[in-house]
Every structure is written in structure tokens, then in C-alpha cells.
A and B are shown apart, each in its own frame.
Chain A
């Protein structure tokens, strides 16, 4: 069973119903401001309902579908003078409540657009990861590169290409023979569901802004506590040459494989091709390197966004046929939104996720099954901060044991303040 128990669900249902009814006359229409504006609290409540997704196309980090979720975000900013702001966000997805963000923002010089952020900080990499809120996402689904669970894991790995190929399309949950033997899901190229922990600096000068961060995890596996004694370095440069046009490029590199998995993969055995016991810190060699480019243009009543992400993982070779020196993947999407009327917009996203070839004993194939998705939909503003979205997704997977395609309608109601 992937979701919470029935009793827990029903309790939550009762809680939400009671809380909503009780608060019917008092729900805020704007952020709550207290202490003379020094403390601001905002929130998003998003209910999404769709049919079963037997192909697991929309499963997320936390083992449930993005199309069947009640998500509640509460965020707060506490201003402590002109130089310091403390920011945090707590998020509940169905029943799980997690601290999503918690960091201190320092502005050393108030006249300069330069900030240092320390703690569980916003993603440096890419464009979508910072606008996963339903109010920023014109559709209901998430881009594949940020959501689709591949057969890559940080805590376990395939001992050979043959084992890797056996798991194609099963990223929602599977076992590998090396490392953690638990049945768990894989990672997306870039996680949209967790933030990393570390130090981030951001500055803007004219039309150019730049961000750099050193964090505990990697873009696909953000962490609170490091598990491999290596830090990720990430950077992003954004250019805004004219109003409405944003061009960005991002780069991230960091040790990906957990120390335990790396050690399990390199224990010397006669049949293994790995060099032997790991020296201290040698697990840092098993990395994820990601590069991304994104473009946004908006004008009048339309927005067009394009983003591409290339990710390369380096894993230890354990047995023959050995994993290649790099397992690559490429995710690309283009999306658009057009406002037809003040309350009504339409939107669409077309995307693809592909994987580099690996050669096993009998065949050469992409190391995971390629996936493509088309999502069309729209939104209707019942009021300014209450939005109803409808969407339809067509998902297609090029190979693997799971079902090859899925037609998925979904409805989402979003309230924010």
C-alpha cells in the first residue's frame, strides 16, 4: 500500500471538513500580516483529483500521485531588521507534514541586490523547481524532468547493465541488488518536491542575476543530512534583456551515491570489476552532473516557457556487463498559457524524457524507458485567489514492463492567500 491508512485518511477528511466549515467566514484573501508587518504568513491549499494512474506516470518523491493529492503549504517570513529575514514553509501532502524550507536570508548591504541564504534553501538549479506552487503552474501535472521517477537511486544500484535494464519503467518502486535492499522509488532528474540544505548566494546587477550554492544533496536527491561526505556545487545565471524575456542556464555537480551504497558496490569480490575497498571520500567520485537551460517569454495575454535538463550520473561498475562511465538522461518541455478572458485561460505542455543507451548481454537499450507526455488544460478563476483547473494528460512510455500509455484527466481546486 502506497498511501496512508484509511483511518488516517478519514481523520484528515473530517479535520479538513470541520476546519473548512468553521473557517468559512474567516478565510483570508491576502497574506496575514502581524507585528506591524514584520511577520507575514501565506498559504496554498490545493486539492487535486484524478483517476488511478496504473502506469505510475505521476508518482512523486513521496510515493503518491501528483494527480490525487491534497497539498497544504503554509509559509512565513519574519523580518528581523533590514539585514535579516527568516523564512520557512511547512507542507503537507495528503497526510505527511514536512518542513519544506527553513532558512535565514541575509542582506549585508541594503542598497545592493546581494543576498546570502543559509539553511534549507530554494533550488538554485532550473526554472520550474521554484514555481511548483499550483498558482504558478498553469497545468496540474509537473514536468517529467522534475517529477518522473527514474530507475536511478542514491541508496542502491544495479550490479550490471542487465539488472539495470530489467528495471526499466519501474522507477515508482523497485529493488536493486547492491546497497539498500528496500523496495523504494527512484529519483527524478531534478526534484521538485524537496529542497536542499546549505548556503546560497544571489546577486543581481542590471539585467543579469547569478546564484551559487553549496548544499548537502544533489539536484535529484536533496538532503538535510549529507550521506556521502561530499557537497554539491550549483550555479545559475539569469539574463533579462527586455521585459518579459528571461533566459537562464544552470549547472550542478555533486556526489550522488550514498556512502553506504558506494561501499557496498566496491567491496572486493572475485567476480567484481570494481577496484576494491573505497578509500576515505572516494564515494565522492559517484556523482550527478546536471546542466539546464530555460527560456521564458511573456507578452500581452500569453506566456511561453521552454526548459531542458541534461543529467549524467556516474556509478561504480560492479559486475559485467558493467555500467558505463556515465548514465545520461535528457528532459525537455515546452509549455504555454493564454488568457482568453479575465477569469479563463488555456494551457498546454509537451515534453519528453529520454535516456542514454547501455549495452547488456543481449541488447543495447536506453537505461530507462523513454516517456513522453502531452498535457492540455485550463483554469477558471472563481475569485482572485480561488482557481479551478481542469487538465487532460496523455502519457506514453516507450518500453518496460509497466503499461505503455495512460489517458488521465484531472481536476484541481486551488486556494491561496
Chain B
């Protein structure tokens, strides 16, 4: 009986661990840090890639857990903008990885929502995480690209994180499990965030042939190959299902 009990619990633990680990939906890093020698970013004038990303799948924000143990209705929260996508060059021209002045970016915590929901930055960028709510948040990430935990801090305070490696960083709040956001860290500057209509523009792209990828909420398109001519403009649309 005792053996059966032990076996029962151990088996459950093992299968639970295996199942949960394999169910991870954390996307594989999309950002290539290796340049394809398609062109030389020399004396030629740069072009641009523009277009639109259409989201045809249903994208819903992460819901609050049912909260059966709460004594009352939880406070309302903001709705993250899940329609924003990121379009980026899968490979970048030579010289794209030369050190440049990395800037700062802000990911606010407001109405139990990260604002913006998606941030696209270059390596070396420092992201500030202010808390604009009246209660604590605890921003953290377990991503391999940049694991961090900022602890609990009150309204009006902000804590910075510097992102030195390219990759995708999934950001959460340890107190509010429905809060999540993405930070895409690129080792080159050839990426763009779509606007509310899904339009994007990657400017100042050296002439050459590139693979271009669109990404939204952990789903990415297959790379599309485009050739950017000298001073040229390439139109490239994506559909994400």
C-alpha cells in the first residue's frame, strides 16, 4: 500500500513535469545575429521595405485567473494592444552590428497592463519599467535571453534593465499573472513595429537580398526573400494565421 502510494505520487510528479515542460509555448528566438553577406553596405544609397501585416488568427489577451478565493470583484485592467507586430530582417547587412549608441525605452505598468505590450529594441538598450499603478508590481522574466526579477516596488518608482543579448524576452508580473509582454531584442537596427493598422516601414536598408520575417504574439511567418534595390522601395505584406 505504501509502495503504491509512493509510486502514485512519484509517477504523477514525473508525468506532470514532463507534460508541463513540453507544453512551454515560449517561442524560439527569432532574431539572427549573423549577417548574410548579401551586399556590401558601401557607397550605395539605402532603400526601404514597407508593407502591412494582417493578423487573421484570433488573438486574445491573457485572462485573469478565475480568482475564486478573492473576496470581491478584482479591479478592472487595461487591454493590451495585441495587434502590434514586429517585422525584421532575418539577416542583416555587414556593418549592421557595429556598436552604436543604444538608447532607452520604457515599458510602463498601468492598469495591470504592460504598456506597450510589445517593445522592439537593439542590444544594449536600457528599458525602464515604471510602476504607474497604486499597488505593487513585480516585473520578471525567466527567458534565456535575459532572466531578471525587479522585485516589488510602488507607484512612481522605476527600475531599469539592460538587454545585451539578442532574442525574445517574455515579461511577466509575479503578482498579477495575467500581465505579460514581449521585448524583442535585435542585434541590428533593421526592424519595425507595426502601427494600429498593421503598417510598417523598415527604412535605411542597404541594397541587397534579405529574408524578412513578421512576428506577432509568439508566432512568426516564414521568411520572405526580398531584394532591396539602390534607393529603392520594396512593398512586402504578411499574413499571420
Q: Which of B18, B60, B70 has the most CB of A within 10 A?
A: B70
8 A-B pairs with CB atoms under 8 Å apart are A21-B18, A23-B23, A77-B67, A115-B71, A244-B152, A299-B152, A301-B152, A342-B142
Q: Does A205 contact B (CB under 8 A)?
A: no
Question: Contact between A37 and B63 (Cβ–Cβ < 8 Å)?
Answer: yes
Instruction: Give bound CA distance, A70 to B7, whole Å.
Output: 12
User: Which 4 A-B residue pairs are closest in the complex by CB-CB distance?
Assistant: A27-B23, A20-B15, A243-B154, A77-B66
B43 at the interface (CB under 8 A from A): no
Chain B residue at minimal CB-CB distance from A77 = B66
Q: How far is the CA of A20 from the CA of B68 in the complex (A)?
A: 25
CA distance A200 to B67 in the complex (A): 16
Nearest CB in chain A to that of B135: its residue: A243
Q: Are A49 and B22 in contact (CB under 8 A)?
A: no
Whether a CB of chain B sits under 8 angstroms from the CB of A9 is yes
Interface residues of A in 1-20 (CB under 8 A from B): 1, 3, 6, 9-10, 12-13, 16-17, 20
Tell me the smallest distance from the CB of B130 to a CB of chain A, in Å.
14
Residue A107 is within 8 A (CB to CB) of chain B in the complex: yes
Q: Give the A interface residue count (CB, 8 A).
A: 80
Q: In angstroms, how far is the closest chain B Cβ from the Cβ of A119?
A: 11
Query: Does B151 have its Cβ within 8 Å of any Cβ on chain A?
Result: yes
B56 close to A (CB within 8 Å): no
Q: Which residues of A contact B72 (CB under 8 A)?
A: 105, 107, 113-115, 117, 202-204, 209
Closest-CB distance, A207 to chain B (whole angstroms): 10
Is the CB–CB distance between B4 and A10 below 8 Å?
yes
8 Å CB contacts to A: which residues of B75-100?
A: 75
Of the candidates A20, A243, A301, A381, which one forms a contact with B134 in the assembled complex, judged by CB atoms under 8 Å apart? A243
Contact B11 A16 (CB under 8 A): yes
The yes or no answer to A85 lying at the interface (CB within 8 A) is yes
* CB-based nearest B residue for A11: B8
- In the complex, whether B62 has a CB less than 8 A from a CB of chain A is yes
C-beta contact mask, A314-355 vs B, less than 8 Å → 1, else 0? 000000000000000000000000010111000000000000
User: A52's contact among B2, B63, B152, by CB below 8 Å, is which?
Assistant: B2
Residues of A contacting B225 in the complex (Cβ-Cβ under 8 angstroms): none
Contact across chains for A75 and B154 when beta carbons are under 8 A apart: no
Return the contact of A31 from the options B16, B64, B155 (Cβ within 8 A).
B64
Q: Is B12 close to A, CB under 8 A?
A: yes
Chain B residue contacts of A415, Cβ below 8 A:
16, 19-20
B136-189 residues at the A interface, CB under 8 angstroms: 136, 140-142, 147-149, 151-155, 170, 172, 177-178
Say yes or no: A31-B65 contact (C-beta < 8 A), given A9-B8, A48-B9, A386-B17. Answer: yes
Cβ 8 A contact of B152, one of A75, A100, A211, A300: A300
Q: Are A122 and B60 CB-contacts (below 8 A) given A20-B16, A70-B9? A: no
Alpha-carbon separation in the docked complex, A25 to B20 (Å)? 8
> Are B69 and A21 neighbours in the complex by a CB distance under 8 Å?
no
A163 touches B (CB below 8 Å):
no
Distance (whole angstroms) from the CB of B185 to the closest CB of chain A: 17
**Cα of A23 to Cα of B20 in the assembled complex, Å:** 9
Cα A20 to Cα B15 in complex, Å, equals: 6
Closest to B151 in A: A300
A47 beta carbon closer than 8 Å to chain B: yes
Complex formed: what's the CA distance from A386 to B147 in Å?
16
Q: Which residue of A lies closest to B22 (CB)?
A: A24
Q: How far is the CB of A303 from chain B (nearest CB, A)?
A: 8
Interface stretch among A38-46, A168-176, A275-283, A305-313?
A38-46
Residues of B within 8 A of A339 (CB): 149, 151
Which B residues lie within 8 Å of A388 (CB)? 17
Residue among B13, B64, B141 making CB contact with A47, cutoff 8 Å: B13
Are B12 and A70 in contact, CB atoms less than 8 angstroms apart? yes
CA of A343 to CA of B71, assembled, Å = 30
* Given A37-B60, A40-B63, A339-B149: A413 and B17 interface contact (C-beta under 8 Å): yes
- The answer to whether A384 and B172 have CB atoms under 8 Å apart is yes
Are A89 and B20 in touch, CB under 8 angstroms? no
CB proximity to A under 8 Å, residues B115-149: 134-136, 140-142, 147-149
Tell whether A133 is near chain B: CB-to-CB under 8 Å. Answer: yes
CA separation between A130 and B155, bound complex, in Å? 26
Q: Are B142 and A88 within 8 A (Cβ)?
A: no
Determine the residue in chain A with the shortest Cβ distance to B147.
A342
Which residues of the partner chain A approach B9 to less than 8 Å between Cβ atoms?
A: 47-49, 68-70
Q: Which B residue's beta carbon lies closest to that of A21?
A: B15
A89: chain B residues at CB < 8 Å are 66, 68
Instruction: Verify if A166 is at the interface (C-beta below 8 Å from B).
Output: no
Rounded to whole Å, the gap between the CB of A43 and the closest CB of chain B is 9
Q: Which residues of B contact A343 (CB under 8 A)?
A: 142, 147
The answer to whether the Cβ of A28 comes within 8 Å of any Cβ in the partner chain is: yes
Cross-chain contact of A17 among B11, B26, B140, B149 (Cβ < 8 A): B11
Asked if A298 and B13 make an inter-chain contact with CB atoms under 8 angstroms apart, the answer reads no
Which one of B20, B66, B151 lies within 8 Å of A75 (CB-CB)? B66
